[in-house]
Amino acid sequence: QYATYKANEANSPEGKMNYLEEYPELTTMYAGYGFAKGYDEAASHSYTLRSISETPRVNDKTLANCITCKTPQFTAMVNSEGDEAYARPFAEVLAQMSEPISCYNCHENDPTQVVVTQRHFAHAMGSDAEQVPVEAQTCGQCHNEYYFDPDTKATSNPYEGLAAMDAEAILAYYDEMGFKDWEHPETGAPMLKAQHPEFETIYGAEQSSMAKQGYSCADCHMAPVSDENGEYSSHELVSPLENPAITEQCGSCHKDIAGEVRGWQKEVTDREHAIAADIKRYTDELAAQKDSLDAAKLAQAQQIQRHAQFYWDYVMVENSEGAHNYKAAHANLDKAEAQLEEGFALLGIA
């Protein structure tokens, strides 16, 4: 197992997609926020500490909460010190960290057990933890939508329980508490940055078809391996489309699983590009008109920007391009388009 874990080192930061080049609209959409400075495709778990130490998104005001899920050492620090650890200076804490994501994140100190070590996620799951395989929760504890509490700076999830884990409910949560990640400098809109809501997309609200059948993340991304040491789960995390052992299993229900999934992904990414262009156009139009709008109309237009971009971002940053939940991806893109249609009408733009 350890040898397969070490194989993740082949998935390095070199040659990764630059999202600011793939989606040039992002420099407008994320203007005023760190992601406009640098946003690359993620490397493997082996490079988490390197990635956060090299990203241009941190500065001398960055707090240690940004290290959440990047190293088991910080997880252990939080579990020992409590929420105070989140508010410590980023650079000071990072200098104490030496281990990227590893065994402790999922097994704590017992390799025979699978454990949710991120306590904020365990709290967010509550009693619904009984409804989802723990193997999925160990992935979901980091692959989820989160925010930093404005008061304590603690990493927190914007929901309690599975039913509240969808984009619309999460957006309502943020709206009710008046939360924003930043203010857009060109429009004044209070903006939100979605993180990577893979768990919510698969297991939240209505759930994906795979979740309803009881599958966990490991079933697709950690295929069983047999060798002279016996049978065990591979810890080399790859797309199931790159693993013949997985695609063969899928073949009992899907005649051409690779073709089917890639077809879904093309549809979703094509829509992402088209809607990104519309969000940029709307943002530019709002920036041009904001000084001539009355307060009520400006607030409405700003909320439309906030909502449309969040629905879009929720799909784009989920990383599966629709593969995890094709219906949910399109539903959220539909909501983004509906917001933009309302916004263009409000601004008198055809």
Single-letter residue type at 327: K
**Amino acid present at 176:** E
Say what the pLDDT of residue 229 is.
Answer: 79
HEC profile for 186-232? CCCCEECCCCCCHHHHHHCCCCCHHHHCCCCHHHHHCCEEEECCEEE
Take residue 106 and report the two structure tokens written for it.
């999922």
Say if residues 64 and 87 touch (Cβ distance below 8 Å): yes
- The H-or-E segment that residue 300 falls in is helix 295-316
pLDDT at 249: 83
Q: What is the pTM of this model?
A: 0.96
Measured torsion, CA atoms of residues 62, 65, 67, 72, in degrees rounded to the nearest 10: 160
- Reduced to 3 states, what is the DSSP secondary structure of residue 79? helix
Cα dist from 143 to 57, 70, 108, 137, 198, whole Å = 19, 11, 18, 9, 6
pLDDT recorded at residue 250? 85
Q: Give the pairing of strands 182-183 and 190-191.
A: antiparallel
Distance CA 80, CA 70 (A): 17
pLDDT digits (tens, 9 = 90+) for 200-247: 999 999 899 999 999 999 999 998 888 887 899 999 999 999 888 888
Summarised one tens digit per residue, pLDDT across range 264-317 is 999 999 999 999 999 999 999 999 999 999 999 999 999 999 999 999 999 999
What confidence score (pLDDT) does residue 37 get?
A: 98
Per-residue pLDDT of the chain (350 residues; tens, 9 = 90+): 899 999 999 999 999 999 999 999 999 999 999 999 999 999 999 999 999 999 999 999 999 999 999 999 999 999 999 999 999 999 999 999 999 999 999 999 999 999 999 999 999 999 999 999 999 999 999 999 999 999 999 999 999 999 999 999 999 999 999 999 999 999 999 999 999 999 999 999 989 999 999 999 999 999 888 888 789 999 999 999 988 888 888 888 888 999 999 999 999 999 999 999 999 999 999 999 999 999 999 999 999 999 999 999 999 999 999 999 999 999 999 999 999 999 999 999 97
pLDDT value at position 196? 97
pLDDT at 339: 99
What superfamily in CATH does domain 2-347 come from?
Flavocytochrome C3; Chain A (1.10.1130.10)
Residues in contact with 209: Cβ distance below 8 Å, sequence separation at least 6, in sequence order: none
